[in-house]
Structure 1
Amino acid sequence: MALILTIDTALERGSVGLFNNADSLGTFVNDSQKDHAGFVQSAIDQLVKDNNTPLEMIDAIAVVNGPGSYTGLRVGLATAKGLCYALEKKLILLNTLDIMAIASIAYHGEKDYYYAPMIDARREDVFTGVYNNQGKIVMEQAALTLNKEIFLPFTSEKKLVLSGSGAIKAAKTLSEEDIIVWDSSYTPEDINILAQKKAAKEDYSDVAYSEPNYLKAFYTTAKTIQ
């Protein structure tokens, strides 16, 4: 486990957090996406001041790296990379849908459902993937145009939990008895869960070559949330 600074500007709600293992040392949340760029650095400065913890003491910087807002992803990753270069710290890249799935699975008590976190991609499109209750991806992440056939292999077996900004419009294509719509979202603490798992496995990314994950390239093999 590690002392980790988390940065999230991927979606409408942004956050910055400082975590020592599972313990939160402080978090700040910003609900105005257009203000994320100004919010991030001031929030980091305040966290450092509040905890009397110089950034030099942290072990790694974790950033939510997409999919999400084009501009927001670039803001978060640029901030994280700049700090990693300046402080010579490790970089952890986190997938937005993975974090959303972690939050949804935990909220529903790991019930034996399928879980489909969704990010609205305008019109009838969403970024999504489907996970089982153990966090394993059973439908690869992709940018998809919604239709009822997409989720039929899952709703024919068990309940499908929809979450995120694309959930409501996805629900309109499905039968009410087949789905659960969770209208909440993930927290900085959920981000830290995945960040700590990656740090424990030393699953770090190359600072120089890291780019935002716009979900243009799809996963080609099934994976479990790492």
Structure 2
Amino acid sequence: MSVILQIETATTSCSVALAIDGKVVAFKQINERNIHAEVITLFIDELVATANLTYTDLDAIAVSSGPGSYTGLRIGVSTAKGLCFALDKPLIAIETLEAMAYGVIYGNDFTIDPNILLCPMIDARRMEVYCSLFNAHGQKVRPTSADIIDEHSFAEELKQSKILFFGDGADKCEATLGVNPNAQFLPGFVNSATFLTQKAVEKFDKKEFEDVAYFEPYYLKDFIAGKKAL
């Protein structure tokens, strides 16, 4: 039996899930900016108590590793590493965009067109997004990148296939990309720690663990601090 605590803080969603043998038994989340540090440990305490477990019952901690919010990633990864150190448990890292793709494939009540490509997008700045492309089986077919979106973005891919765009980055790009008939959009998508489940179990079974001491989030680009309002 595997008991895995899953943490997602790479986006505006602060989400924690508890999965036993690849099945989510409890989760808690809130989709709100700048609240992650306040609630994440409370959420974790609640989940462990709800499942009638103790922290020592956990077999591993899985964390969404980025790209995404610099501050959010620091909070999530620091929390995961702290638990791993304190409990002497392994750390599992899962790329955020990959988890989002798995969330659409396995976490929705509709069938995915086997020929469609999936494009999870995380809002960066202005018209920039963190994005990648996956096929309907969750395999990455385009490297993760930070792209500034304009009317020419994904032009070649959209000539050959329909693409389903989703995530908070896709919301702001719909007006620009939506003129192409092969561009489809999934409204209301909210990132969740529950989307880590399939990859977390797979990595746990294969013992694909991170070095807790040296692991860092996948920021993709350098942090740029905003100017404080006067």
Q: Compute the TM-score of the two structures, normalised by the length of structure 1.
A: 0.90
Residues paired across the two proteins, number: 217
What secondary structure sits across from 1:33 in the alignment? coil
Structure 1 CA distance, aligned partners of 2:24 and 2:122? 26
Question: Which residue of 142, 146, 155 maps to 1:143?
Answer: 146
In the alignment, structure 1 residue 200 sits paired with structure 2 residue 200 = no
1:119 aligned partner: 122
What secondary structure sits across from 2:80 in the alignment? helix
**1:166-205 pair list within 5 angstroms:** 166-174=169-177, 175-183=179-187, 184-205=189-210
| Amino acid aligned to 2:129 | V
- Deviations, residues 6-40 of structure 1 (Å, cap 9, x unaligned): 11111111111111012222111122232211211
Task: List structure 1 runs of 4+ shifted beyond 4 angstroms.
Answer: none
Displacement of 1:128: 0.3
What is the percent sequence identity of the aligned residues? 36
Displacement of 1:129: 0.6
Structure 2 CA distance, aligned partners of 1:177 and 1:27? 37
| Amino acid aligned to 2:167 | G
2:82 aligned partner: 82
Q: Compute the TM-score of the two structures, normalised by the length of structure 2.
A: 0.88
Answer whether contact 1:163 1:185 (CA < 8 A) is retained: no
Structure 1 CA distance, aligned partners of 2:130 and 2:167? 10
In the alignment, structure 1 residue 110 sits paired with structure 2 residue 115 = no
Unaligned 5+ runs, structure 1: 218-226
Displacement of 1:176: 4.1
Structure 1 CA distance, aligned partners of 2:32 and 2:169? 18
Displacement of 1:117: 0.6
1:21 aligned partner: 21
Structure 1 CA distance, aligned partners of 2:130 and 2:193? 21
Answer whether contact 1:92 1:198 (CA < 8 A) is retained: yes
- Deviations, residues 44-89 of structure 1 (Å, cap 9, x unaligned): 1122222221111111000111111111100011111011001100
Answer whether contact 1:33 1:72 (CA < 8 A) is retained: no
2:91 aligned partner: 91
Answer whether contact 1:63 1:94 (CA < 8 A) is retained: yes
What secondary structure sits across from 1:173 in the alignment? helix
Displacement of 1:195: 1.2
Unaligned 5+ runs, structure 2: 223-230
